[in-house]
Amino acid sequence: MVFLVFYLSLSSQSYFSVLTYNCENAFDTIHDTGKDDYEFLPSGERRYSKYRMFRKLKGIMKVIASADADRPVDLIGLCEVENDTVLTYLTSRTALNKMRYRYVMTDSEDNRGIDVALLYSPFTFHLINYCSVRVDGLDKPTRDILVASGTLFSGDTLDVMVCHLPSKLGGRNSDTRRLRVAEKLRSVTDSLLSVRTNPNLLIMGDFNAEYTKSLFKDVMNVDILYSDTTKNSVSNHQLFDIVADKKEGTYKYKGEWSLIDHIIVSGNLIQGENIYLNYHDCSILSPSFLLEDDNTYGGKKPFRTYIWKKYNGGYSDHLPVFVRFTIK
């Protein structure tokens, strides 16, 4: 009966939803050979127990479940998940098991062992294929780019990329790493755009950079979706950052909010015939349970799981980004 109701609800569905979220160090409690995950072991500095792991996973579940009050989110891009065990626990041993989410993820050479993943509802997104794209030539390994293609219930093909660019730590070297990953993202994007007549392309994740940086404008050639952007001014193969014009941020450092988590789409997803979005369809989610008082700088800040090595019991140091695409 549950599945019958779900299938019947699709007949009246008028949108397709996407969430991207850096969930901050979603580790399991077992050491992965060759990875520097020792601080997230029961014997490590953070005393990362099974209780803390499952509390973390239930927190991620709560974020996903609360993102849309009408029905389950269709696609979820996650950053900073350690391995298959974490995703299996998340999708089968939390309340998300009722949604029957499936997932694909990368297996990167990142020193700490963190990866990116894509959760998807098999009822609304039919996975065709996926691959993990490695960025070579860096002075230190980073996360792979997850590339997945599938069909929507509308019959349209959607190409999705989930990425987590290198952190800002390391000064000029870190800038170079991010630019190299951005170049690879643009290369993969060009390959997909070249084989799609009406491309539905979506890139999401933690870029560790605001739109003002050259990797968006010069390397990836991404424009901003503004509130007054008209569909007539958009071309199918053009790329748009649909969150860069928002006033809020997704990450706070030393009292300053910045927007470093992005969703980028091809122009066809803005003005397509079957699927499209408007400026106000995308938002940064900031429910009260994801925030806490910032006693140092004032205002609010993300409610983190750890503050340095001290357990804080929160969710993440990032806020999620959510978008609804209208289906005709």
Q: How far apart are CA 18 and CA 222, in angstroms?
A: 19
Q: What is the pLDDT of residue 328?
A: 81
Kindly state the percentage of the chain with pLDDT values over 70: 95
b/e burial code for range 62-80 (CB count within 10 A of at least 16 → b): bbbbebbeeebbbbbbbbb
Distances, alpha carbon 238 to alpha carbons 176, 197, 233, 235, 267, in Å: 25, 13, 10, 5, 5
Q: Give me the pLDDT at residue 90, please.
A: 98
pLDDT of residue 11: 46
pLDDT tens digits, 172-228? 778 999 999 999 999 999 999 999 989 999 999 999 999 999 999 999 999 999 999
136, 138, 209, 293 from 304: Cα distances, Å: 32, 30, 20, 11
The SS3 of residue 233 is helix
- Looking only at the bridges linking them, the beta strands covering 157-164 and 201-206 are parallel
**Model pLDDT, residue 56:** 98
Let me know: does 120 contact 74? Beta carbons within 8 Å: yes
User: Residue 79's beta-bridge partner residues?
Assistant: 22, 116
**What is the C-alpha separation between 255 and 201, in angstroms, rounded?**
34
Mean pLDDT (whole number) for 15-26: 97
Residue 78: pLDDT band with limits 50, 70, 90: very high
**Tokens 């799981």 — which residue?**
305
CA dihedral for 135, 118, 21, 198, sign (positive or negative)? positive
For residue 6, pLDDT beyond 50? no
What average pLDDT does the segment 290-306 reach? 97
pLDDT digit string (tens) for 197-210? 899 999 999 999 99
